[in-house]
Amino acid sequence: IRKVPDPVGVCLSPCDRAPAVRLLNAFTATGSKGYRSVRATHGVHRGTWLFEVEIKEDTTQIIVDDKFNHVKGHVRVGWAQSQAELQAPVGYDSFGYGIADKTGDKVHQRKLEPLSRPLKVGDVIGCYIHLPALVGEAPPHIYPVPQVVSPEVVTAVAVTTH
């Protein structure tokens, strides 16, 4: 079977997200029902990967009731497996690792550990992961990101207002 490059590339998945998460475009998500997650369209299962996320201004006011317009939104970004709960933030369970904007802490299994200062609009967050090959597995072929389609580990972004 010949692999055909994906014409769209990696973006936020309109299908692999919590129902309360709205995608404003292929790279921007927002919500107003507490922390919820959305995964990327492509996953990785071995190798070394990095993606970056820029913290933008809160955009929830354009899609929610007036009663929520005064509420500031928050974001967590990180890596999560396909088993991670979409109705919770990345890092909530054992299937993901994230960073919380409010404190700059890293999050895994709901446990916070100091990592950075609180994040603010304009910050760019780099999410790096190294997944070694399994014992006895041949070294991976290097493909452009759009051709990696394994759902083993995928990027996840959780958005909230509270």
Tens of pLDDT, residue by residue over 14-63, are: 888 999 888 888 888 887 777 888 888 888 888 888 888 888 876 544 55
| Nearest partner of 85 among 42, 34, 133, judged by Cα | 34
3-state secondary structure of 61: helix
Are the CB atoms for 11 and 24 separated by under 8 Å? no
Asked whether the beta carbons of 61 and 70 are under 8 A apart, the reply is: no
SS3 content of the chain, % helix, strand, coil (to 5): 5, 45, 50
Q: Is the pTM of this model over 0.85?
A: no
What is the distance between the alpha carbons of residues 98 and 105, in angstroms, rounded to a whole number?
8
Place of tokens 């603010």: 120
φ, ψ at 47 (rounded to 5°): 105, -170
Count of C-beta atoms within a 10 Å radius of residue 40: 20
The pLDDT of residue 1 is above 50: no
Distance CA(142)–CA(110), nearest Å, equals: 34
Between 35-49, 90-104, 126-140, the lowest mean confidence (pLDDT) is in 126-140
